[in-house]
């Protein structure tokens, strides 16, 4: 038997304020048509004044607990993937721990920008497999609206805020690739590409900074690296793209999502797409898409899922799991 991390609950939270592409036409030299055709984004949510990453993360986590029929006392650990925590420290995860009223266990953040949720899932799976935790709440939550340069049309129209959560539980499975739970992961980074996507500020440089991106350069890396990491993770699980029910990709650009599916030989009928409604929510995009995909009735128990993401670093990776 093999101890696997199985998803037993999902939840997501999107802030109330919805911003349609057309709103940017008033302040920027851009159009709804350009944003839609180049990225697939139609609208995104922005957090309210005073609404923080840990607020959104806690709401998503509460929904995942309710979905699983469990309470915070049943959770051993919280992992939050974010690049936009409320404060420099403590971690957003410890703030979520307190907001959930959880007084035991441990909590920490993972920072791998848009690949953060894949990194967090991989860490949570290892905590469960090693016996250090039996239930782990894995959350992706971001307030990228706080690090936008609102005069830079090439970035500020692309990102949004939100949070998604998965509750993982240790379950003994037969130990084959038909098991439920996380079957394989693949993580990569290459710091030589750090200048393609970064925030030009931080604690040791005395500013908060704004997101800077050479979008077309990131794009060039994306499809190849995403298809490659997804195939590597599938290979590790002893599976292939033909076995996949759903690709649940990082939601940055519909053209990247389509290109990756095509490179993997899969149809868009096998892809959960939320980019039109959420924009790019960085580490929150995959758990948001998983939770929405489940609510839509797309993702069902037993489905084989590949998640894949790439972002600043560059950092990229994939997780193969059976729902």
Tokens at residue 320, please? 């193969």
Q: Is 280 a catalytic residue?
A: yes
Of the candidates 114, 156, 210, 270, the residue annotated as catalytic is 114
CA-nearest of 98, 137, 101, 104 to 121 is 137
Binder among 77, 157, 271, 318 for ligand UT7 (CB under 6 A): 157
Q: Is there a catalytic annotation at residue 114?
A: yes
Residue 86's Cβ-side half-sphere holds a number of Cα atoms within 13 Å equal to: 18
The single residue listed with the structure tokens 């309470």 is 71
- Tell which residue, 319, 303, 295, has the closest CA to residue 270: 303
Question: Does residue number 321 form part of the binding site for ligand UT7 (CB under 6 A)?
Answer: no
Size of interface with ligand UT7, in residues (CB under 6 A) = 20
Q: How far apart are the first and last CA of the chain?
A: 18
Of 45, 210, 250, 278, which residue is the catalytic one? 250
Part in contact with ligand UT7 (CB under 6 A); list of ranges 8-16, 48-56, 151-159, 185-193: 151-159
Residue list 14-33, contact with ligand UT7 (CB under 6 A): 30
Q: Which of 319, 84, 67, 107 is nearest to 201 (CA)?
A: 84
CB closer to ligand UT7, 89 vs 150:
150
Q: Is 189 in the site for ligand UT7 (CB under 6 A)?
A: no
Residue of 114, 239, 248, 283 that binds ligand UT7 (CB under 6 A): 114
Q: CB–CB of 156/24 below 8 Å?
A: yes
Q: Up-side HSE of residue 109: CA atoms within 13 Å toward CB?
A: 24
Q: Considering the complex, state which of residue 108 and residue 193 has its C-beta at the smaller distance from ligand UT7.
A: 193
- Give the pairing of strands 43-46 and 17-20: antiparallel
DSSP summary character for residue 200: S
> Segment 242-301, which members bind ligand UT7 (CB under 6 A)?
252-253, 256, 280
Candidate residues 22, 86, 149, 154; the one interacting with ligand UT7 per rule CB under 6 A: 154
Q: Which residues bind ligand UT7 (CB under 6 A)?
A: 30, 34-35, 38-39, 114, 153-154, 157, 215-216, 218-219, 222, 252-253, 256, 280, 310-311
């Amino acid at each position: 038997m093999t101890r696997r991390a199985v998803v037993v609950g999902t939840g997501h939270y999107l802030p109330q304020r919805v911003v349609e592409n057309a709103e940017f036409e008033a302040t920027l030299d851009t159009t709804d048509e350009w944003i839609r055709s180049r990225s697939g984004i139609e609208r995104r949510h922005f957090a309210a004044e005073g609404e923080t990453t840990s607020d959104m993360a806690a709401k998503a986590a509460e929904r995942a607990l309710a979905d699983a029929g469990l309470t915070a006392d049943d959770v051993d650990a919280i992992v939050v993937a974010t690049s936009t925590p409320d404060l420099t420290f403590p971690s957003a995860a410890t703030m979520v721990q307190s907001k959930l009223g959880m007084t035991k266990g441990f909590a920490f953040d993972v920072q791998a920008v848009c690949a953060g949720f894949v990194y967090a899932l991989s860490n949570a799976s290892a905590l469960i497999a090693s016996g250090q935790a039996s239930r782990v709440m894995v959350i992706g939550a971001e307030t990228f609206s706080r690090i936008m340069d609102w005069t830079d049309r090439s970035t500020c129209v692309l990102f949004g805020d939100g949070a998604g959560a998965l509750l993982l539980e240790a379950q003994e499975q037969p130990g084959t690739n038909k098991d439920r739970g996380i079957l394989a992961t693949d993580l990569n980074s290459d710091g030589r590409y750090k200048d393609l996507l970064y925030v030009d500020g931080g604690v040791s440089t005395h500013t908060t900074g704004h997101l800077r991106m050479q979008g077309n350069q990131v794009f060039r890396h994306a499809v190849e690296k995403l298809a490659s990491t997804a195939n590597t993770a599938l290979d590790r699980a002893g599976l292939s793209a033909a076995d996949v029910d759903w690709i649940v990709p990082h939601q940055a650009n519909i053209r990247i999502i389509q290109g990756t599916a095509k490179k993997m030989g899969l149809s868009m009928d096998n892809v959960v797409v939320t980019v039109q409604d959420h924009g790019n929510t960085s580490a929150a995009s995959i758990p948001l898409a998983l939770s929405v995909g489940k609510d839509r009735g797309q993702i069902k128990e037993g489905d084989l899922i590949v998640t894949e993401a790439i972002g600043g670093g560059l950092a990229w990776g994939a997780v193969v799991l059976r729902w």
